[in-house]
Amino acid sequence: MVMAMAAPHPDPLAGFPAGFLDGFTFREVAKGQLLATPGQALNQVFIVRSGRLRVYLASDARELSLAILEPGDIFTTHTPTFVRSLEPASLWLIGIREFGAKLAGAPGVAPLMMKVLGRILDNAVSLVEDLAFRDVPARLARFLVRQAARRGEQAAEGCLLPIDLGTEDIACLLGTTRQSVSSLINQWQREGVLSRRGRRALLIHDLPALAARSLMQG
């Protein structure tokens, strides 16, 4: 679900006309820095140059990630969400008003914007669907299946799949808890569906089984 956010191109600026960034201000941020909060007055649009940013909601007790922005992604501070850097990052900023003007001046960018916003919207809708219709096992299974489709490498015994997030972070993406994720992974491990490969990777043996699980009660 959320991973669909990743920029499809290795070059973050593919699609932008030359000189489009004139007038943007460049900014570098350290790891873990808060870039936007709900209800802030400042309305800006930004384009990610490097690093990953987490877009999330928070209540007193819990947090829920909506998306992870990667290089090339466009977003705005004018949303009721928090945005925080997961790692050192750099980005281009501009006022939302000026951005509108630039957009008018560079017609080719408008469809690109629509694509990006559409993708983010799809993402949010997908999250709603998950939260409303699917139980935790189905959500986790779907997450793994999508990860496998995006980042998995076909290996001899199955699909090798790097996981660069901790248990807690995954739980946060899926709107559940660390404990639930942990026990599910280990249950599936016992059932032979998958197994760990070191600290930061999984080996999926039975992708179809996962896919089936992800479709249940959906």
Partner DNA sequence: GCCGGAGTGTCGGCTGGCCGACGGAAGCGT
Partner DNA sequence: ACGCTTCCGTCGGCCAGCCGACACTCCGGC
Sheet holding 25-29, edge to edge: 25-29, 89-95, 44-50, 74-76
Question: Which one, 33 or 182, has the nearer CB to DNA?
Answer: 182
How many residues contact DNA, by CB under 7 A? 20
Within 10 angstroms of residue 82's Cβ, the number of other Cβ atoms is 18
Among a second copy, DNA, none, the one that 27 touches (CB under a kind-dependent 5 to 8 A) is none
Question: Which one, 5 or 66, has the nearer CB to a second copy?
Answer: 66
Position 158: which residue type?
A: G
Shortest distance, position 190 Cβ to a second copy, whole Å:
29
Using CB under 7 A as the binding rule, whether residue 18 contacts DNA is answered as no
Using CB under 7 A as the binding rule, whether residue 196 contacts DNA is answered as yes
Backbone angles phi, psi at 128, to 5 degrees: -60, -45
- Contact 150/6 with Cβ under 8 angstroms? yes
Among DNA, a second copy, none, the one that 64 touches (CB under a kind-dependent 5 to 8 A) is a second copy
Site residues (vs a second copy, CB under 8 A): 57, 59-62, 64, 66, 76, 78-81, 100, 103-105, 107-108, 110-111, 113-114, 117-118, 120-122, 124-129, 131-133, 175, 217-218
Using CB under 7 A as the binding rule, whether residue 135 contacts DNA is answered as yes
Angle (nearest 5°) at CA 117 between 116 and 118: 90
Within 10 angstroms of residue 22's Cβ, the number of other Cβ atoms is 8
Q: 114 is written with which tokens?
A: 């629509």
CA–CA separation, 101 vs 123, rounded Å? 27
Segment 137 to 156, residues that bind DNA, using CB under 7 A: 137
Say which residue the tokens 């809708």 belong to: 125
Shortest distance, position 182 Cβ to DNA, whole Å:
4
CA–CA separation, 93 vs 188, rounded Å? 44
Segment 197 to 216, residues that bind DNA, using CB under 7 A: 199
Question: Which one, 30 or 114, has the nearer CB to a second copy?
Answer: 114
